[in-house]
Amino acid sequence: MARSLLTWDEFGIRLDLDLIEGWLNHEVLREVEAIRELHLAGSGDLLELRVKVAWEGLPAWLSVRLTELRIYKGHLGCRVEAVRGPLAVPVPITMVARLVQRYASRWVRLGVEDRVLLVDLRRWLPGWLHLYVQDARCEGRFLALEIAPGGVSASFARDAEIREP
C-alpha cells in the first residue's frame, strides 16, 4: 500500500520525512549541481539536514541544524542554528550564504545577520492555496505542522464565472 505524504486534521498537518527526503533528493539534485545527496532527521523543534556536496570534485558532508520552522505565503522560513563541515568543523554563515547565492539563489535566500533561511515553495504549491504554519515539530519520521488560526484558505480568481446550481 502506498504511503501518504501528508495527513491532516483540524489542528495540523503531519508530513512524512521519508517521502519529503525522497522528493528533495529528486528536485534539489536536479537544480543544484554541487549537491549529491540529502538526508533529513529531527527531534522536537530541531530539524537536521545532512547534505553531501562536491566542491571542485571533492566530496564532503555538511550538517545544517534548523529551528523555528514556519510557512507563510508560500515560503518556508527557519533559523539556521549551526552548519558543520567534515570533522564537525563549524562553517561560517557567510560562506554558507555565498554558496546559497551561487547555487540556489532563484529559490533560496539566507540572511547573514539574522541567520534566517527562506525557501520559495510557490512553484510546488497550488497558487490558490494559502497555508500559514505557526509551529513545526519533528515526531519520529514525521514533521508535525501546527496551523495558525485561520491558517488554511483558498483564493479564487475574481473574474471566475459563478454558476447557479
Whole-number pLDDT of residue 50? 96
pTM: 0.81
Phi first, then psi, for residue 36 (nearest 5°) are -105, -30
pLDDT tens for each residue of the chain, 165 residues long: 678 887 887 778 899 999 999 988 998 888 888 889 999 999 999 999 999 988 788 899 999 999 999 888 888 899 999 999 999 999 999 999 998 898 888 889 999 999 999 999 888 777 777 788 888 899 999 999 898 887 777 776 554 454 554
How many CB atoms sit inside 10 A of residue 71's CB?
Answer: 22
Whole-number pLDDT of residue 22? 92
- Cα–Cα distance for residue pair 93/99, rounded to 1 Å: 10
Whole-number pLDDT of residue 102? 87
Whole-number pLDDT of residue 133? 86
Whole-number pLDDT of residue 159? 47
